[in-house]
């Protein structure tokens, strides 16, 4: 996009213009500010996560895009510390412990562009009081056959560390105590950490089959090695409770197929997708989603959708490890039980129209507002807190996003 001589626009793109002028090249850029809120509550349990994020990018001479971002997860809530502890169903939930934490993630990356291919490299660093992560990714994008066929491949590598209680005398998993708090993590002598290494491969093929029909097929494989539980959560094993102990290795595979069909008479798009998943913990799932997005007028679009998800339990999951142990492993993670959920969602997107001078609001090349609301209903049919059903099964997710291009 050509850099214009508008004084206000020049102010906004000052950083990129300086680089561009030095290189004698064109530049454009964008700023995205998006905030999401997730909330579920029920019984004595609740969880609220506020996620604000800021992303800035700039493209120089259509050849190089630089980007940087920041995201936070502000978490507050109450969760069960010892799953299935004796004392009755009520105690198991009313004894829930409160938690408050903030995760900060900073990211940066670049993309090299050519006529029919892009190559991207990204890095992200995340830190919170009890967790640290480094993530690297390399991805390539290629367009073939008059841009009707697109291939994307990516490889991501993660190096994470989770805080835990230092227990040199606890040689066996059943002797390990849960982490009582994040105080002293990564600094005090009575704290240690567990490592988690992640490798993720993904490939996708997007194909335009007709002027009104396109599909996307995606394959993902992920290999994890390290601690994959919560250091805060313990499971009652009969005589005592111990920090949950899932297997250290996990291989995950997923395949997804999405299709979009333009409905000419309605001037809208039908969006369908499905996914199957399986991993080496023998957890299997299916996901199906149907959506319809209607262009109302100009840049205003409304989408309604329904998403259905169903999974089986991990092979070592038990709702009661005292009566039904599963070998050497044990977990109190309800997301590893057989469960399903259904999501009802609405999304409104509004692209502000340009003025007479061609700019939006006299400053931008484009300005988009996104408002989104999802109601998620969970069904934990095989998970109980000491005999009591999971109380917080309804969740609300809200998102507001502002994106500008200049």
Give residues 5-24 in contact with another protein (rule: CB under 8 A): none
Which residues between 110 and 139 bind another protein (CB under 8 A)?
124, 126, 128, 130-131, 133-135, 137, 139
Placement of tokens 């469960």 in the chain: 339
Query: Considering only 21-29, 58-66, 87-95, 217-225, which stretch makes contact with another protein by CB under 8 A?
Result: 217-225
Q: Are 221 and 251 in contact (CB under 8 A)?
A: yes
Q: Tokens for 111?
A: 């993309």
Contact call for residue 248 and another protein (CB under 8 A): no
Contacting residue, 10, 11, 97, 148, with another protein by CB under 8 A: 148
Measure the CA–CA gap between 102 and 100, rounded to whole angstroms.
7
Closer to another protein by Cβ: residue 154 or 177: 154
Beta bridge partners of 130: none
Q: Compute the chain's Rg from CA coordinates.
A: 24
* Beta carbon of residue 164, minimum distance to another protein (angstroms, whole number): 11
Contacting residue, 230, 245, 318, 404, with another protein by CB under 8 A: 230
Contact call for residue 95 and another protein (CB under 8 A): no
Beta bridge partners of 77: 47, 99
Coil, strand or helix at 18: helix
**Where in 145-190 does DSSP place strands (E)?**
149-165
Coil, strand or helix at 92: helix
Contacting residue, 97, 149, 240, 328, with another protein by CB under 8 A: 149
* Beta carbon of residue 198, minimum distance to another protein (angstroms, whole number): 6
Contacting residue, 210, 297, 323, 358, with another protein by CB under 8 A: 210
Which residues between 96 and 115 bind another protein (CB under 8 A)?
99, 101, 103, 105, 107
Measure the CA–CA gap between 129 and 186, rounded to whole angstroms.
8
Q: Tokens for 128?
A: 């919170």
Contact call for residue 394 and another protein (CB under 8 A): no
Contact call for residue 58 and another protein (CB under 8 A): no
Which residues between 323 and 362 bind another protein (CB under 8 A)?
335-336, 339, 341, 347, 349
Which residues between 268 and 287 bind another protein (CB under 8 A)?
268-269, 271, 275, 277, 279, 283, 285, 287
Query: Considering only 50-58, 59-67, 183-191, 382-390, which stretch makes contact with another protein by CB under 8 A?
Result: 50-58
Coil, strand or helix at 17: helix
Q: Tokens for 138?
A: 């390399």
Contact call for residue 208 and another protein (CB under 8 A): yes
Measure the CA–CA gap between 140 and 203, rounded to whole angstroms.
10
Size of the site for another protein (CB under 8 A): 104
Fill in the DSSP letter of residue 227: -
Written as one string, the DSSP assignment of 311-322 is EPPPTT--S-TT
Coil, strand or helix at 19: helix
Contact call for residue 395 and another protein (CB under 8 A): yes
Measure the CA–CA gap between 314 and 282, rounded to whole angstroms.
5
Contacting residue, 13, 29, 32, 58, with another protein by CB under 8 A: 32
Contact call for residue 365 and another protein (CB under 8 A): no
């Amino acid at each position: 996009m050509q850099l214009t001589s508008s004084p206000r626009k020049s102010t906004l793109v000052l950083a990129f213009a300086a680089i561009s002028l030095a290189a004698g090249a064109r530049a454009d850029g964008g700023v995205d500010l998006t905030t999401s809120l997730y909330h579920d509550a029920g019984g004595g349990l609740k969880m609220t996560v506020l996620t604000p994020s800021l992303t800035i990018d700039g493209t120089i001479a259509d050849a190089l895009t630089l980007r940087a971002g920041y995201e936070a997860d502000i978490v507050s809530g109450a969760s069960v510390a010892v799953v299935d502890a004796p004392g009755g169903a009520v105690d198991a939930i009313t004894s829930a412990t409160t938690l408050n934490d903030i995760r900060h993630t900073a990211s940066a990356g670049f993309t090299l562009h050519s006529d029919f291919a892009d190559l991207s490299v990204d890095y992200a660093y995340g830190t919170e009081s009890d967790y640290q992560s480094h993530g690297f990714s390399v991805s390539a994008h290629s367009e073939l056959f008059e841009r009707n066929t697109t291939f994307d491949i990516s490889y991501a590598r993660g190096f994470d560390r989770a805080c835990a209680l230092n227990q040199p005398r606890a040689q066996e998993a059943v002797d390990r105590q849960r982490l009582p708090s994040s105080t002293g993590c990564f600094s005090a002598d009575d704290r240690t950490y567990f490592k988690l290494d992640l490798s993720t491969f993904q490939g996708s093929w997007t194909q335009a089959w007709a002027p009104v029909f396109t599909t996307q097929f995606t394959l993902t494989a992920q290999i994890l090695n390290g601690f994959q539980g919560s250091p805060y959560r313990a499971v009652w094993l009969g005589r005592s409770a111990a920090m949950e102990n899932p297997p250290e290795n996990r291989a995950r595979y997923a395949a997804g197929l999405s299709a979009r069909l333009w409905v000419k008479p309605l001037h809208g798009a039908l969006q369908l997708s499905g996914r199957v998943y399986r991993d080496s913990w023998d957890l299997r799932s299916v996901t199906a989603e149907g959506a319809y997005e209607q262009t109302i007028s100009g840049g205003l679009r409304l989408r309604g959708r329904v998403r259905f998800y169903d999974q089986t339990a991990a092979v070592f999951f038990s709702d009661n490890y005292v009566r039904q142990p599963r070998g050497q492993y044990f977990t109190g993670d309800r997301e590893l039980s057989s469960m399903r959920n259904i999501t009802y969602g609405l999304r409104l997107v509004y692209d502000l129209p340009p003025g007479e001078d061609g700019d939006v609001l006299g400053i931008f090349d484009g300005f988009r507002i996104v408002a989104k609301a999802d109601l998620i209903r969970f069904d934990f049919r095989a998970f109980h807190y000491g005999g009591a059903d999971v109380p917080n099964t309804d969740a609300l997710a809200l998102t507001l996003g502002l994106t500008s291009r200049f």
